[in-house]
Amino acid sequence: MAAHDHEHDHDEHEDEPELDEEAAERQRESEREFIRRQALAQIRQYPDVALRMHAREVTEFDEFLIQLVERLAELMHDAQGVGLAATQLGVLQRVFVFEPEDEPLRALVNPRLTLEGSRKETKEEGCLSLQDVRVPVERATKVVLEGKDPNGDDVRYELEGLAARVVQHENDHLDGVLTIDRTDPESRKQALGALRPQPTFV
Ligand SMILES: [Zn+2]
């Protein structure tokens, strides 16, 4: 899932920042943007068929799984996202990582949403596989997420707010479900229009 907004830390200075400091900051920003675009280029983009596939349960807790989780975490950070599912890399395994604001990075293997609170909330969601598309999606505000960590140990998280939203979004990816499937008809129509490949004139 894409981050809500891109916050940049600015150091407070008593006096006017030096010109070369501003230039250095611009340089860092353009480097971050380059890294973000490179990461997005490695994430499957709509309408890639992998995004519509159902991922399989993980049965082997091996080196491949550890490497997959590391790659997911790295690409999620580089793409400035808050969650990323294995299907978004074309790997059809039930694995995702998430890291909402102020929360540690977590990797879930064979996740299950075992409880969804009855209170729902509709908010706009972005997705690293649906660039530039943000649509309103209704989600439960509280969930319980159970599954395994990459070592095969049982984990259980009670989540709310953004974290609850992110894991519902990522869990959907493992079943080939996207935000455009869960939004209202008008938002879906607009999003599909924006996603339609544009004709190229040469
Ligand atoms: Zn997504």
Instruction: Report CA(81)–ligand 1 centroid distance (Å).
Output: 9
- Say if residue 187's pLDDT is above 80: yes
pLDDT band at 196 (very low <50, low <70, confident <90, very high): confident
Choice among 13-17, 22-26, 110-114, 164-168 with the minimum mean pLDDT: 13-17
What is the CA(127)–ligand 1 centre distance, in A?
4
Find the 39 Cα to ligand 1 centroid distance in Å.
14
Q: pLDDT band at residue 202, thresholds of 50, 70 and 90?
A: low
Pairing of strands 106-116, 120-125: unpaired
pLDDT digits (tens, 9 = 90+) for 49-103: 999 999 999 999 999 999 999 999 999 999 999 999 999 999 999 999 999 887 8
Neighbours of ion ligand 1 (CB under 5 A): 1, 127
Comparison of pLDDT for 148 and 16, the residue scoring more: 148
* Catalytic member of 18, 21, 170, 186: 170
The span from the CA of 83 to the CA of 106, in Å, is 9
- CA of 147 from ligand 1 middle (Å) equals 20
pLDDT at 126: 97
CA of 40 to the centre of ligand 1 (A): 12
138-174: pLDDT as tens digits: 999 999 999 999 999 999 999 999 999 999 999 999 9
**What are the structural domains, with CATH classification, of the chain?**
58-195 (3.90.45.10)
170 is catalytic: yes
Percent of the chain residues past pLDDT 90, beyond the cut:
82
Does the global pTM surpass 0.85? yes
